[in-house]
């Protein structure tokens, strides 16, 4: 883990941008009824790539998603479920996706949140850039 990153046990909100966005299939399985709030948000200085699933990396542009505040009483359990989905191991800090803390914008205000960075070369199918950074719109328009 990078020294300027908080401990993985730190209870930050989570920025979700793909199948975990409100109403999507992994939201239904893993987040529905387990959050205190879900607000529209943008991750600046990121770009998105997608096949059937999206991933984001740092770069030019921005990514559209939701900032999810998890119920503190079940925070560790929910984060364990999200880490498992993203194949991230918080003990070693390695995985298919990496959980990193980055500022995201909610109503124009910066909020530090966990987000999952992925490697576009590891997607199951060839990755396509998603120019507007909105996976829900991109997947619906394919």
Q: Within 13 Å of residue 90, how many CA atoms lie on the same side as its CB?
A: 19
Per the CB < 8 A criterion, the answer to whether 14 and 115 are in contact is yes
Confirm whether 7 is domain-assigned: no
Rounded Cα distance, 107 and 5, in Å: 24
Cβ–Cβ < 8 Å for 30, 18: no
Q: How many domains does the chain have?
A: 1
**By C-alpha distance, which of 97, 100, 70 is closest to 84?**
97
Cite the DSSP H helix spans in 62-133.
Answer: 75-85
Pairing of strands 54-70, 94-95: unpaired
In sequence order, the 6+-apart residues with CB closer than 8 A to the CB of 2 are 100
Position 35 in a domain: yes
State the CATH number of the domain containing residue 46. 3.10.490.10
- Give the three-class secondary structure for 109: strand
The tens digit of pLDDT for each residue in 42-68 reads 999 999 998 878 999 999 999 999 999
Q: What is the DSSP letter of 121?
A: G
The token pair at 60 is: 């030019």
Per-residue pLDDT reduced to its tens digit, 64-98: 999 999 999 999 999 999 999 999 999 999 898 99
The residues, any chain, with a CB within 8 Å of residue 95's CB and separated by 6 or more, are 83, 86, 87, 88, 89
In-domain check, residue 94:
yes
Q: Mind listing the pLDDT tens digit for each residue in 100-119?
A: 999 999 999 999 999 999 87
> Cα(35)–Cα(75) distance, rounded to whole angstroms?
9
pTM of the entire predicted model: 0.92
Is residue 129 in a domain?
no
Residue 79 belongs to domain spanning: 14-122
């Amino acid at each position: 883990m990078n020294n300027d990153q908080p401990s993985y046990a730190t209870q930050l909100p989570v920025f979700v941008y793909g199948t975990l966005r409100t109403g999507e299939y992994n939201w239904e399985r893993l987040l529905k009824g387990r959050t205190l709030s879900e607000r529209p948000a943008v991750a600046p200085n990121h770009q998105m790539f997608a096949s059937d699933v999206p991933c984001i990396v740092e770069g030019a542009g921005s990514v559209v998603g939701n900032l999810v505040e998890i119920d503190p009483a079940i925070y560790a359990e929910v984060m364990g479920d999200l880490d498992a989905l993203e194949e991230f191991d918080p003990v070693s800090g390695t995985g298919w996706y990496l959980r990193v803390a980055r500022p995201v914008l909610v109503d124009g205000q910066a909020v530090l949140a966990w987000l999952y960075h992925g490697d576009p070369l590891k997607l199951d199918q060839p990755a396509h850039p998603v120019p507007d950074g909105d996976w829900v719109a991109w997947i619906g328009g394919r």
